[in-house]
Structures are given as structure tokens and as C-alpha cells.
Structure 1
Amino acid sequence: QGSESEQYAYCSLAEIQAQTEQKQHLIQVLYAFENYYVDEDKLTDFTYEITSSRDQPPFNLTLCAYESGEKIVCEILYNPNVYANEDIVQMLARLEHVLHALAANPEMKLSELETITEEEKEQILGAINDTYLPYAKDKTIPALWEEQVANTPDATAVVYEDNHVTYDALNRKINQVAWALRRLHIKPDDRVVIVAERSVEMIAGMYGIIKAGGAYVPVDPTIPAERMRFILNDCKPKAVLVYKTTIETDLPTINLAADKLWEGQDENPEQVNRPDDLAYIIYTSGTTGQPKGVMLAHSGVVAMRSYLQEKYEVTQQDNVLQFANYIFDASVWEMTLSLLLGAKLTLVSQGVLSDVNSFNAFIKKNGITLTLLPPQYYLQTDISGLRVLTTGGSAANAEMIKKAGSGTRYINAYGPTESTVLATGWEYDGESDIPYPVPIGKPMSNTQIYIMDDMKLCGIGVPGELCIAGSGVAKGYLNLPALTAEKFIENPYGEGKLYRSG
């Protein structure tokens, strides 16, 4: 057996790489400590010199350290196609910081080691996360909606196929739903499930639940009955709204297709919500496969509205596409960008969405100016005339940014449901080389982004866990206290909660 294994006693790196899928990319970083043994009695004049080919380094990064008298000398050889000079300078500064920390406390655990310098900490906690933008902290979604209705009562609010509804008319529909729910004693933080097909009634139903004082829980009519039962058992709603669909439940049910509903009282009900009340709950599948109900408050939507107003410079002439299924929080972005800022919201049917040619024609015919699309969907389309294209949900690439063209602003948006739709944004300036990978950008207004290693800040450029703080962070997960404790923690760098998004 010994002789059989002898052939494996030495295997060169080139041989190992040849056996792998990654080939020469298997190892990108090399660290070498040159600690040659010297017998001073026999060889007192030993010297050595580090030599290397600087034409094409075999590794992207090689760190070589050796002793010289009382010092340790470090040299870095790097591939300039991968690392910029400033990256290397920053890396060396961090290495020096770490070595000083270890020299000061040789017994410390690696887990206790902070890789961030004081200057970086000041920059991260200061300039990078100085994102304050005034917003109506004391207001709720119904308050902002009613102000918008008063400002633009006769402007078109929602369009679906041949149905064009003004702000005033939509408000009356919303009020009719709200009054019907008030009669069922819906109050703040009560949950109301809505199971509806795309329609003006769907929008009126969601905003009607919020105006009644409750939180809407959108459920896809096509999901398996077992998952629907789980959501009903988990969120324990006080009522259910349906539109052109059915649901098995003993709960009080309001049919949004019933003529009688739209004959009810339609004046504004008294506002009962506070900013920290629940506005909606969205179920995400999560890594466990068990759906998690993410609880979002009015305050996050109100703060996001100010950001969208400043970023997108929305006017009454804008036409926002309602692309997302309402079970996803992108639909909240769409409604906020339009209904709370005086623009038009145009709903598109599932039939049009499933045929690219129909979709292209729909965008042109309706004069859509603002939309949020998944990158892969956008790449299949051939649309023009957009004032701003936003993509989100998965990674962006250079191909789609070039496709957007010079007449359209392009924004890459990122954010988990747990931070009220958005956390960061990156806008292409239209001139520079498109970076690879396309970044997710800087924190949006009233949001802070930290890269952390457990509870310690990572230095700039050091990988870690993405953590989000700010006005949009969710109240937590419904009925999952253990998971809430793990994912939502008190923000060590300011007020409120910190969401660890991984």
C-alpha cells in the first residue's frame, strides 16, 4: 500500500490545476513566508533576494514576507488587470493595522481582531452613511394619499385596459372598501388578506385595507391550497377580500366584484393610524422553505416616497407601469412612485406580460415613462421612450445598460423585502466605462449600510455580511421570534433595528 501511494507523495500545483474545472483560476492569491533556516556557524554571509517575473504574474495577488534584522518585510506582487494601485495601498494599510494589533496583543483570538482602521470607521459611520433627507415622519400612507387626491383630483390615477380612474374616483372606491372593513371592526395592526386578479379593484382593495386602519396581506390566487391555508393560519386575518377568485375560509369575506359594495358611503373615514402601525405583510419563501411574513410599517413607505420623489423627479406627466405581482414588494414601489406622487399607474395584464411582442407594443401605446423590471425580462424586450429604467431582483450587467441607450436614465436598485423594497441604488452616468460587476450602489436616503463580520464593522473592500439600518427596516417576521432575534438586532451604530441580510 505504501508503494502504491508513493506516486501521490508530490503533486505540482500545475498538475492539481489541470485536474480542476477552474484550471489556472483555482488559486488566485498566494502567501509565502520566506523563513529559510541558517546555521550561523557554517554560513555567516548568507543573503538572498526575492526575484519574480513582473511581466505576467501567475497569481492575481502574491504576498511575500521575510525577516530582515528586527523587521518583517512584506512585498506584494499584483495583477494590475484585477487590482488598482489604490486597492493594494489600502490592503497594505490594513495588513499593517492587523500586524500592529497582533503585536500589541499576541494572545488575542482571530475572531476578536478588527480589520478596520479608525479612519475607515469614521468614513463609514460618517460620510458614506450620511443619508438624511427630510420626510413626513409624522404622516401615514392614507394622509399622503388624501393630500395627493386634494392636489390632483381630476388627474388619472389608475388605468387598466379600458378602465381609466381619476384620483378622486379611486379615492371614493378606496373609501367604500375602508367603510366596509370598519363595519367589521378592523383596527390598526389587524390583518386583512386580499386574493385578487389584476384590476383597479385590486388597487382599491389594498389601499382600502390600509385606510380602514389594517395591514393588507396579498395572496396569489394560483398558489396551492396548502400554502394558502398556511398563510391564513399564520397571519390570522380578521377578514378576506376577493376579486374574481375563490378562497376556502369561514372568515368575513368582502367580494370586490359585488355591485353593492360600490354603492356604499364614499367620504374619507377618520384616520386612525400612526406611522409605526403595520401597512402590509409580504410572505417570502426564505431559506427554510417555510414562508415568512415580513411586517412593514407606514413609516418605511413614507420615507421611501421622499427618496423616489427626489431620485425620479416625478411629475403628473409620468406614467408608471404596474409590472410586479402584488405579492412582491416591487408593487409597493410602483404604487408609491405613482399614487403618492401624482403620476399615473398603468396595470398590465398577465396575457400581455407573457408575450414579449405584446409587451413592447403595450409600453409604446401607453407611453410608459417609469418602470421597474427584472434584468432577464428586460433583455428580452425591445422597448423605448422610458424616462428612467430601473432593474432589480437579480444582478445587472453591461449588456442591459447599453441596451437602455442614451435617452434613458438607468438605475440598478437593490433591497430585500425586509427594508421596505429598497436599500441601495446605483445610477449609470451615461459616459463612464460600465463597471464589472455592476454595483448595487450607495444607501438610499435615511438608510445606512454596514458590511459586518459578526458584530464588528469590516474595513472598506473587506467581504462580510450586508446589514441594513434606517427608517425602512421591517418590524420583524410574523410569528417567528427566534428568527427575528437572529435577523433583526438593535443597531449598534444608531437608533432602531439592524437587519442582517447576509
Structure 2
Amino acid sequence: MNNKVLASPIQRAHWNQLNNTNKEQLNTAAISAVYPGMLNAQGIEAYLHQLVGCFDILRTYYETDELGALWQHVSTDIPIQFSTLNWHGLNEDEVTEQKKKESQTQSISSVTEPWVRVVVAEMVDSCWLHLEVMGLNTDVFSLNYLLESLVDAGNGRLQDAQGRLHDEIIQYEDLAPWLGDFLLDEELLDARKFWTRDKSERALDQKLSLQRYVQATESVYAFSTMALDDLYDPIASYAFTHQVSIAEVICTSLRHTLKRYSSDAVLSRVFDSRADSDLADAIGPLSRAVPLFSDMDGVFDTAIKQEQALSEQGVDYGECFIKSHDHEISGFSFIFDSIDRSSASHSDVEQIMSLSEALKIQFLFINQGKNSRLQFTYDTGYMDEQAMAYFVASCKADLIKHIGEACTQKQPAYQGRGDIVTASCHSVLDQFTNIADTTGGSVIQIDGKKHTFAEINDDANRLANCLIAAGTGHGDVIALCLTRSIEFVIAMLGIMKTGAAYVPIDIDLPAQRISAMIQDAQASSLICQGELMVEGCHSINYAELDLHEYDTTAPAIKIASDDLAYILFTSGSTGKAKGVSISHKALLNHMTWINTEFKFNPQDRFLQRTSASFDASVWEFWSPLMVGATMVIAPQAINYDQALFKQTLTEQRITRMQIVPSLLDLLIESRAESQTYHLDTIFCGGEALRTITALNTKNAFNCDVVNLYGPSECCIDALFWRFDERLQTDFVPIGYPINNLSCRVITEGGRIAEVGESGELQISGDSVFSGYYGQDELTAAALEYCDLASTKFYKTGDHVQILADGNLMYLERLDDQVKLNGFRIEPEEVSMFVINNGLSEQAQCKVVGNSLSLFYIGAKVSEQEIILKLKGALPEYMVPTQLIELEEFSYLSNGKLDSKALVALALNYTSADYVMPSTDVETKLVAIWQELLDTSMTIGTSHDFFNIGGHSLLAMKVLNRIQEQFEVNISVRVLFQNKTIAELAAYLEPMILLNATHDSEVSEMEGGLL
């Protein structure tokens, strides 16, 4: 007997796991079983001493030397903890609780002191036996071997137990050097090549869609069990028919289930070195997980045969473990192990704890006939109990399906439902009227103008009576072309009080687009500032109205829930904008939800900064109006002037604000530590919210961060998620439906998705739009009727994933619709405009980076004329910054347009001649542009910033960098007026020179004083 030998490669790998993780459970291995009858505890204890005395590995402990080598020592002491318990008076639930308690009452869990712990508990007609040893000293086979020996010793079959203690016991310390030298065997040449290729990386740190996305408060290993019961015989029959093992059938099925929740998921398998008959009864750690993966693309019967082939390779590959691998630090994520218990076993194993790696999920098949079970040992820091229960059910359903059995229990399809809530008022107008009459509230413009809600309500009533006198009727549509102002709020309310719907129009849009929108909305009247004439529409100059002629009593108009409140135009793929019609019911539902959910109150001060033509502005107007708070209307310049933005937040003591993430990043970047903010909540929407942005926001402003998701067709917001600092994903989830909305996810195959799967998000409920105004065919295409739910779902076109707790994570668009800097754009609208207006024969508009590029064939006019036409008809954010004329488009073998080729072309294309920088300032500016535009093209001094991917948000980043590098104070307007490097450098150089002269004079003065 050697008292000190080098540890085996398996022990070294396990040791590394122990020292690189905080999972103490890795050092404890245990097995528990129920015996149907009484056991002789004294016989078990006596035999236990013999077992521990015979097998040195049970008395082994470990230490490292100064070079880091791991040594195993065999103690002369017999470290046994033996106890007996009486559970005769306990009911079933109490027994279960006691088993859990004893299983968790581990020994000292030290690597420097070996231990063996056994508990024998007597029940009315059975006994529970629990065995626990040091994790480094055993594996699943050894635990089962020792358990069966103890059971035999306790049930009178001592002769069988004694037979195991033969004179030729192979001691593990004698095997360790042999295991370490195994690579010298020429027969294992292929196996050596396998480990040289090192496939372990694929099995490390794997993700599943069911895993936690918010960090758990603790991370321990827990158990879940699938009892096979009546499934065992069908599985055995299937295995016999296909000439494979039951374990191979189960393992193959588990591989399929994992693929459902991650296409990259792979399952490693445990193999041991007991194939040699001399090692058949060897005790100690002889098992190792091997990253062998089969091709899961084929049918199940084929996959089974591949699994069988892996079984033949696995033993040899498992024995080649002399080389260190990455998994020895972090562990394989998913591991399958199995134990075949003898048909002569007299007990049923309930649970086995034997982990040699810091895995995420261990699948352990315990084969014991009709009482067979599949045990799931999982990291609670990786997956919670609810998600694991769902996963186990999925594994069982898949197994039933694969062996051809009729599945009587199907997984429920996912359907997220918001709370069902009834509003306390009939319409948003009713709530506002009550507030104006009782609570108060006011609207403030930054320029100092202020109206109380009572004053606004009176003026809105006067305007409503004025409009009715002029012929406006219930159900009419009135266009609203005013800047965001107190007058806009009055006009919006006045229109709605007549029973008409308002259409907010951005006055900065091209006249052609304004005219098209008003005509498509069939607006009877147009309220504007100054002269704005649209054919077929009565124009009303708000500035010329004398509202004091009209009564302040509200018109006696009854608003029905299905009446339209507003029509909002969004980009459309047909070449023209689509008018999204929103009812009073939808608006009331959203506003009731957001005001209640976030406890808005009269002390709040809301920042109104979003253009009224975007639906995000709607709640910025209506929340303060409905709760009696203060609405602060900021000028348009706030979106391009960081100093003004921060000044507004602090001076106006804003508590609630909505902002797109890209602008929020800039705000955080330029935030001064000395500024004091009063923000309670920042709402984000319009773009995917990165976790780092949300975290930085929470830290910078010490406020709550909420991620809002919702297409205009669902009245502003349909889902929401409150940011949690423990979030572990790169992006913030879009969350769960708001009140009175439900959603479902449809897979690519057309079925309703289950938890963990992904597909197109569809939404139904009170907030869904009434249709695209005057475009019935488009409306029909956007909705899908569900017979089962007797409702219509809006098809968002957004690809989402269902997280384990039912919240949703946005993945990507399923069509070409994009969001650029918060603006919703259908690139096809740009393409169709070019074709429909005869500007070219063919056109394709694509997103390249953060801007649009237009590719066209067969131009009918010059490039300059195309640009002028686009600028005259489309919003600025929809005008491509790059035009590229081609002779032909390239197509893929399947006949589809090669979009990637177009994007690659745009990234390296420039129509302007390259001009290299000639001054120090030009060189520094080029470096700034090159970094922030993140383009592969070489930027010259003649390139127009806005024609090579620049936009307003990037302009603000450039501004911040210029101010930092050159120490000059300029506004973002300078960049809009000086769009090339040459122009910008010419503007900056005199200022830089002046600063340098001033610094020199100051320096001379200071020198003179000295």
C-alpha cells in the first residue's frame, strides 16, 4: 500500500473544478435508496467498517506540493459517521422532508480529511439508506456498488456482500499511474488525435432559452426527477428492436430536446474505464465526460445509430485524459450519465449526487426496471425550479414522441396575458375634465408660457364649439399641423371633444408628404399656424381664431369606445405612408395602464419632447393631463443640444421622461457629476435597449429604468419590463403584455410556440388598432383571426423568444422594416417611391450601418434630381444618405436578391474623389469621423458627413469629441452647416488659434509674475 501517490488525471480535473468554482457540492457524492422491508443496522455498520478498511480510496485525502502537483494520501484512520433514525410515526410528507434534510446535512466537505457517512432510517414497512463520501473518491458506479453491498449486509445476504471483499481488490492508488500513462498505448492513436483537436470548447458555457436571464440570489445544485413507470417497457421494446441500449435511446432523445432550446446545445456523455474485466468491480473515480456529439439533423432512428457509434468510441476517448483541457476550469454544460442496476438489486435508488464538473445540467438515467428514473441535477443559478419543471416535461413529451407512443399530455402553448382591468372612466376626455375641474395641473413651455388645465379645458371647449359651428361633425377627421405647444394641446383636446379624430402632422415634413397624408386621411379640416393649403381640405389658421366668442361649456357629444381618437401615419412598404387608426377604447386602455402601473401623480413633472407625429408622444401628452401633473414642453432643439437637455432636466425638475436608447447613451456620456437630477423613471423605447445602457442610466440618474415595446398598431406600448440590475443578457427583455392585452408567438412552422421557443410576436386585445385608414387590404394582411380565442391578432413582424418565466426577448425583424435612431422605416417605401415616380427602372433600398443606401438601375433622371425628389416627398430620416447606380443586381442561387452583396458594396463605395487631409486639424477630424462612423471606407476631406452614414445622434457624438479634443465651445448646428472635413476645419481653425494665443498670453503673464 502506497501512502502517497500522484493523483490520477480524473482526480486532477475534478480538483481543478473544485478550485475554480464556488460549488462545494462538487466535493460531496451521495446515493439514497429505499429497501422494501427492515434492515439490520448493526450488520450494515459492521460491514461498513470492513468496506472502508478494504478500499483505500474511501480513506483518501489530498494536498498539493509547491509545484502545484496534486497528491493523494491514504489515511490509516477509518473516518465513519453512522446514524440510525426512527420515522415510524411520520406521515408521507414528513418523511419526504426528513429525507431532504438528511441529504442536505453534509459532512465537513474537506479534501484534507476523508469521510464516509451512512444513515439508516426505519419506516413502517421499509428502510431508507443514505450513503455519502468525498466526491473526489468516487463516481456513480462506485456509489451504486457500495450501496448494494450495504443493503446485502443489512438484509441477511452477508455472504454476497462478503464476496465483494475478495483478496484481489484493485486499489485506486495503484491505478492512478496506469491511467496517467494511457496515452502511450499505440491502439489509442485515434483517441489522442481526438483530444488534440479538443472538441471540448463546443460543450462549454452553453446557453438555453429556458435559463435564467436575471442573476439568482444563490447558486446550488438541486434535483428534479422524471419517473419512467409505464414508459419503461415501450422504451425497452424500442431499444431491443433497434439493437441499441435503453440509455442510448434516452440520450438521443435528450439531444433533440436540448436543440429545441438552443441550436448550439451539445450533450457530453460519461464513459468509464471498466470495460476491462479486471476493472469491472474497481472502486474510485474511473468515469469521465467526453464531448462526443452526433448529427441531430436526421430522423430519430438514424440518430440512434449514431449514438451507438459514439458509445463504441467513447470508452477509448474517455481514457485519453492526460492533456489539460478548457473544461477542467469551467466544466461541460450538459452531461449525460447512466447506471445499470442489477436485476437482483433489492432496493430502489431515489437519488444520486455525483458531480465531477461544475456543469449546468446533469442527466442521470438510473436503470432499475419498472422503477427506472431520469434524474436532472441542475444549477439553480442557471435555471429556476419552474423552468426546470417545464424542461423535464418537454423531455418526457419528446421521449414519448420518439419511441412512437401516443402522447396524452402535451405541453401548453404559450400565451402571455396582461391583467384584466376595467377603467374607472368612459374616455380619456372624461378623466381630463374631472382633473381640470378638481385637481389642477399645468402645461409649461420652456420659453416661460404657462396654462393651467382649467384654462386649457376652457379654450379646448371654445375651440370644439367653434369647429362644430364651422361644420365639423362626429366621426370627422381633422389634421393638426402645429408645433408642440400649449396651442397643440388645446387643439388636440378641442378636436376630440367634437367627436372627431385628429391627425398629428409634423410641420417639418416636405409639403408633398403633408398633402398626401391629409388626403389619405380624408381630413375635412386642417388646423395650422399661418397659411397651409391642401386641396379638398378646409384650412384653419389657429392664430387668427378668436375663441373668446365661443362658450366654455363642453359640447354634448357622446364618445363611443370604438370612435377613433387619432390617426397616426407610419412608413409603408407600398410606397406610401399608412394611417394607423386608434380608437378611444385603445387609448383609454393604454393610458389607464401606464398611469396606474407607474403610480403617476400630481407632483410629477413630465418632459414632452417627442414629435407629435410619433405615437410615443401620445402618453407624454395624456399622462399629465389625466393625473393632474405638470407637462413641460421642450423645444425641438433639446434633441440636438445636450447642454440644453440637461439644463431642462435639472431646472424643470423633471421626474418622468421617455427617450430612445441611442440618445440616452449620449446623455449619460455628457452628464456632469455636479448636476442634480430629480428623475424617478426613465422610459426607453423605439430601439433595442442594451443592458449596459440601462445599468449606466440607473447608476447615473439613480432612477428606475423601464423598457417599453409596442408598434403604433398597438397604441403606443404593448409590453414592458422593469430593468433589474441582476440581468445577465446583453439586451433588456421587452417583457410581458400590459393590461387587457394578450400575445402569442407563432413558430416558423405555423404553430403556437411553447416556452423557450421563438417566432413571430402577435398581439390582441383592447389596444389593437382599428385598421389602416382607408386601406382594407393592408389591414386584412396585418391581422390574423384566431377561431379558438375568437379574436384578431396583429402580426408584428418581430421575431421574439419566450423566456423561461414567460417574458419575451426581442431578436430581430422578420421583414425589411427597420428602426433607425427610433424612427420606424420601411425601406421598400423608398424603393417604391423611386420606381412609381419614374426616377429609375429598378431600385432597392437597404440599411447599411445606421443609414439608408439606395441602389438603382436604369436611371431616368440625374442622381441630384433623385435626391431632390426624395427630399421633397419623404421625411429627412427616410432620405438615403448614399445613392449607388448599378448595371444589374446580383441574385442568390435560390433567386433571391443578394442583399449582403449590396451592403458590402455600400460599405466600400464612395462617389466623391478622395482628398487627403492637409492640416493637423483636418487629420484629427478625419480620425474622429473614421472612429465614430465605424466605416471601412477611407474618409477624405471632401466627404459629406451625412452622405457617408452620419446622422443627428452621431453629429452630437462628433460634437462632444471635438469639444474635448480642441477645447472649443460650438453647437451641433455648426456640423449641420459645415458638412465636410474641409469646411469644418476651416470653421474651427481660427477658434483653435485664438485659444492657443490666449493660453500663450496667460502663460507669459504668469511667468512675469514669477
TM more than 0.5:
yes
- Indicate the residue corresponding to 2:954 in structure 1: none
State the Cα deviation string for residues 69-88 of structure 1 (Å, max 9, x = none). Answer: xxxxxx9x9x9999748767
User: Contact between 1:117 and 1:459, CA under 8 Å: does it hold in 2?
Assistant: no
Residue in structure 1 matching 2:417, options 129, 139, 164: 129
User: Contact between 1:160 and 1:199, CA under 8 Å: does it hold in 2?
Assistant: no
- Residue correspondences, number: 459
- Indicate the residue corresponding to 1:362 in structure 2: 648
- Relative to structure 1, the CA distance from residue 482 to residue 259 in structure 2 (aligned partners, 3 Å threshold; closer, same or farther) is closer
Separation in 2 of the partners of 1:161 and 1:497?
Answer: 46
Separation in 1 of the partners of 2:710 and 2:788?
Answer: 20
- Structure with bigger helix share is 2
Quote how far apart the aligned CAs of 1:353 are. 2.6
- Indicate the residue corresponding to 1:463 in structure 2: 758
Where 1:94 maps in the other structure, the secondary structure is: helix
Separation in 2 of the partners of 1:160 and 1:38?
Answer: 75
- Indicate the residue corresponding to 1:425 in structure 2: 720
Where 1:162 maps in the other structure, the secondary structure is: coil
Q: Within 5 A, what are the aligned runs for 1:47-62?
A: 49=314, 55=328
Separation in 2 of the partners of 1:293 and 1:470?
Answer: 20
User: Contact between 2:607 and 2:632, CA under 8 Å: does it hold in 1?
Assistant: yes
Quote how far apart the aligned CAs of 1:264 are. 3.0
- Indicate the residue corresponding to 2:768 in structure 1: 473
Separation in 1 of the partners of 2:332 and 2:541?
Answer: 66
- Indicate the residue corresponding to 1:276 in structure 2: 562
Quote how far apart the aligned CAs of 1:233 are. 2.5
- Relative to structure 1, the CA distance from residue 47 to residue 428 in structure 2 (aligned partners, 3 Å threshold; closer, same or farther) is closer
User: Contact between 1:469 and 1:491, CA under 8 Å: does it hold in 2?
Assistant: no
- Relative to structure 1, the CA distance from residue 226 to residue 316 in structure 2 (aligned partners, 3 Å threshold; closer, same or farther) is same
Residue in structure 2 matching 1:35, options 296, 301, 305: 305
Quote how far apart the aligned CAs of 1:143 are. 1.8
- Indicate the residue corresponding to 2:427 in structure 1: 140
* Residue identity in the other structure for 1:209: I
Separation in 2 of the partners of 1:305 and 1:85?
Answer: 34
- Indicate the residue corresponding to 2:694 in structure 1: 401
* Residue identity in the other structure for 1:145: F
Quote how far apart the aligned CAs of 1:250 are. 4.1
Residue in structure 2 matching 1:211, options 474, 482, 497: 497
- Relative to structure 1, the CA distance from residue 450 to residue 236 in structure 2 (aligned partners, 3 Å threshold; closer, same or farther) is same
- 2:778 matched to 1:483? yes
Quote how far apart the aligned CAs of 1:404 are. 2.6
Separation in 2 of the partners of 1:347 and 1:245?
Answer: 24
- Relative to structure 1, the CA distance from residue 133 to residue 493 in structure 2 (aligned partners, 3 Å threshold; closer, same or farther) is farther
User: Contact between 1:159 and 1:165, CA under 8 Å: does it hold in 2?
Assistant: no
State the Cα deviation string for residues 20-74 of structure 1 (Å, max 9, x = none). Answer: xxxxx9x8356722525999xxxxxx9564767854899988999xxx9xxxxxx
Quote how far apart the aligned CAs of 1:187 are. 2.7
Where 1:290 maps in the other structure, the secondary structure is: coil
State the Cα deviation string for residues 357-400 of structure 1 (Å, max 9, x = none). Answer: 11100111111111111111112113721011111111112333
State the Cα deviation string for residues 272-301 of structure 1 (Å, max 9, x = none). Answer: 321110000111103445311111001112
Where 1:35 maps in the other structure, the secondary structure is: helix
Quote how far apart the aligned CAs of 1:161 are. 2.1
Where 2:617 maps in the other structure, the secondary structure is: helix
User: Contact between 1:283 and 1:291, CA under 8 Å: does it hold in 2?
Assistant: yes
Where 2:543 maps in the other structure, the secondary structure is: coil
* Residue identity in the other structure for 1:135: A
Separation in 2 of the partners of 1:60 and 1:355?
Answer: 49
Residue in structure 1 matching 2:682, options 386, 389, 399: 389
Quote how far apart the aligned CAs of 1:492 are. 4.4
- Relative to structure 1, the CA distance from residue 334 to residue 85 in structure 2 (aligned partners, 3 Å threshold; closer, same or farther) is closer
- Indicate the residue corresponding to 2:394 in structure 1: 94
User: Contact between 2:713 and 2:769, CA under 8 Å: does it hold in 1?
Assistant: yes
Quote how far apart the aligned CAs of 1:185 are. 2.8
User: Contact between 2:418 and 2:738, CA under 8 Å: does it hold in 1?
Assistant: no
* Residue identity in the other structure for 2:703: T
- Indicate the residue corresponding to 1:248 in structure 2: 534
Separation in 2 of the partners of 1:287 and 1:344?
Answer: 39
* Residue identity in the other structure for 2:394: R
Q: Percent identity?
A: 23
User: Contact between 2:423 and 2:589, CA under 8 Å: does it hold in 1?
Assistant: yes
User: Contact between 2:533 and 2:539, CA under 8 Å: does it hold in 1?
Assistant: no
Separation in 1 of the partners of 2:332 and 2:776?
Answer: 47
- Relative to structure 1, the CA distance from residue 424 to residue 37 in structure 2 (aligned partners, 3 Å threshold; closer, same or farther) is closer
Where 1:28 maps in the other structure, the secondary structure is: coil
- Relative to structure 1, the CA distance from residue 407 to residue 245 in structure 2 (aligned partners, 3 Å threshold; closer, same or farther) is farther
- Indicate the residue corresponding to 1:338 in structure 2: 624
- Indicate the residue corresponding to 1:21 in structure 2: none
Separation in 2 of the partners of 1:234 and 1:98?
Answer: 52
Q: Within 5 A, what are the aligned runs for 1:317-336?
A: 317-336=603-622
- 2:529 matched to 1:234? no
- Indicate the residue corresponding to 1:5 in structure 2: none
Quote how far apart the aligned CAs of 1:470 are. 1.5
Quote how far apart the aligned CAs of 1:243 are. 2.1
Where 1:173 maps in the other structure, the secondary structure is: helix
TM-score by length of 2: 0.41
Where 1:437 maps in the other structure, the secondary structure is: coil
User: Contact between 1:404 and 1:410, CA under 8 Å: does it hold in 2?
Assistant: yes
State the Cα deviation string for residues 83-141 of structure 1 (Å, max 9, x = none). Answer: 748767755643542453466599xxxxxx9xx944x34xx45xx5251123147x123
* Residue identity in the other structure for 1:358: L
Separation in 2 of the partners of 1:331 and 1:299?
Answer: 18
- Indicate the residue corresponding to 1:152 in structure 2: 439
- Relative to structure 1, the CA distance from residue 35 to residue 397 in structure 2 (aligned partners, 3 Å threshold; closer, same or farther) is same
Quote how far apart the aligned CAs of 1:150 are. 1.5
Tell me: higher relative CO, structure 1 or 2? Use CA pairs within 8 A at least 6 residues apart: 1
- Relative to structure 1, the CA distance from residue 152 to residue 245 in structure 2 (aligned partners, 3 Å threshold; closer, same or farther) is farther
Separation in 1 of the partners of 2:397 and 2:640?
Answer: 55
* Residue identity in the other structure for 2:527: L
User: Contact between 1:135 and 1:306, CA under 8 Å: does it hold in 2?
Assistant: yes
Quote how far apart the aligned CAs of 1:245 are. 6.2
Separation in 2 of the partners of 1:410 and 1:245?
Answer: 42
- Relative to structure 1, the CA distance from residue 299 to residue 38 in structure 2 (aligned partners, 3 Å threshold; closer, same or farther) is closer
- Indicate the residue corresponding to 1:442 in structure 2: 736
- Relative to structure 1, the CA distance from residue 401 to residue 176 in structure 2 (aligned partners, 3 Å threshold; closer, same or farther) is same
Separation in 2 of the partners of 1:161 and 1:132?
Answer: 42
User: Contact between 1:131 and 1:448, CA under 8 Å: does it hold in 2?
Assistant: no
- Indicate the residue corresponding to 2:546 in structure 1: 260
- Indicate the residue corresponding to 1:177 in structure 2: 463
